[in-house]
Amino acid sequence: MSGLLLTSFGTLNLGDVSIQSEKERRFVKSAYDSLAITYIFAITSVKLSILFFYRRIFTMFEKWFRWCWWLLLSLILIWTAACIVLFALQVAGNLPKIGFSRLGISTTGIINALSDILLLVLPAVMISRMKLQTKQRIALISIFSIGGMYVILVDFSRLRLIIFTERQ
């Protein structure tokens, strides 16, 4: 990620990086692959832990909450599967070069952002339906929203950065 930032802002010249031995290239590729797999499973683990935390806090008695919970679980697992398939195609060298890579990155980025938004909205709706004073409701929704808003901002800025660097 830091390499993308340095390259996109012109701090790092790709010509300097391209002068590497074969051993250095293999190391960089294996490090990149390891980080990609770690990223996929870290994001999935965090989202699943938040989702199961919601299941523990809020009752599953309400039908709409149950449907939303299962929908969100499915969305997270589909995102994970799509990322693993795209990564496997990339490692195998079978990823089509014409537009597919950009489409895959954009699609997984959009699904990732959508699941983040749904993870933020789900507790807000449940809290708004609780029999609490308005101050308490606002305080609880704010607590759940602080971390979620940061994650959504990071998602959109990362997606914008990826699309910006692909255009150059």
**Which is higher by pLDDT, 44 or 153?**
44
Quick one: pLDDT at residue 48? 94
Q: Write down the mean pLDDT value for the chain.
A: 77
Mean pLDDT value of segment 66-84: 92
Q: What is the SS3 assignment for the chain? A: CHHHHHHHCCCCCHHHHCCCCHHHHHHHHHHHHHHHHHHHHHHHHHHHHHHHHHHHHCCCCCHHHHHHHHHHHHHHHHHHHHHHHHHHHHHHCCCCCCCHHHHHHHHHHHHHHHHHHHHHHHHHHHHHCCCCCHHHHHHHHHHHHHHHHHHHHHHHHHHHHHHHHHHC
Residue 115 has pLDDT above 90, yes or no: no
* Contact assessment for residue 122 and residue 83, using Cβ atoms and an 8 Å cutoff: no
Q: How far apart are CA 2 and CA 54, in angstroms?
A: 33
**CA distance to 38, 45, 66, 133, 140, per residue, from 32 (Å):** 10, 20, 38, 50, 39
Quick one: pLDDT at residue 162? 64
Quick one: pLDDT at residue 81? 92
Mean pLDDT value of segment 51-73: 88
Quick one: pLDDT at residue 96? 65
Residue 157 has pLDDT above 70, yes or no: yes
Quick one: pLDDT at residue 100? 54
Summarize pLDDT for 8-59 with one digit per residue, the tens: 555 555 555 556 677 777 777 778 888 888 888 999 999 999 999 888 888 7
**Which is higher by pLDDT, 158 or 85?**
85
Q: How confident is the model at residue 104 (pLDDT cuts 50, 70, 90)?
A: confident
Residue with tokens 């101050």: 135
* Contact assessment for residue 89 and residue 95, using Cβ atoms and an 8 Å cutoff: yes
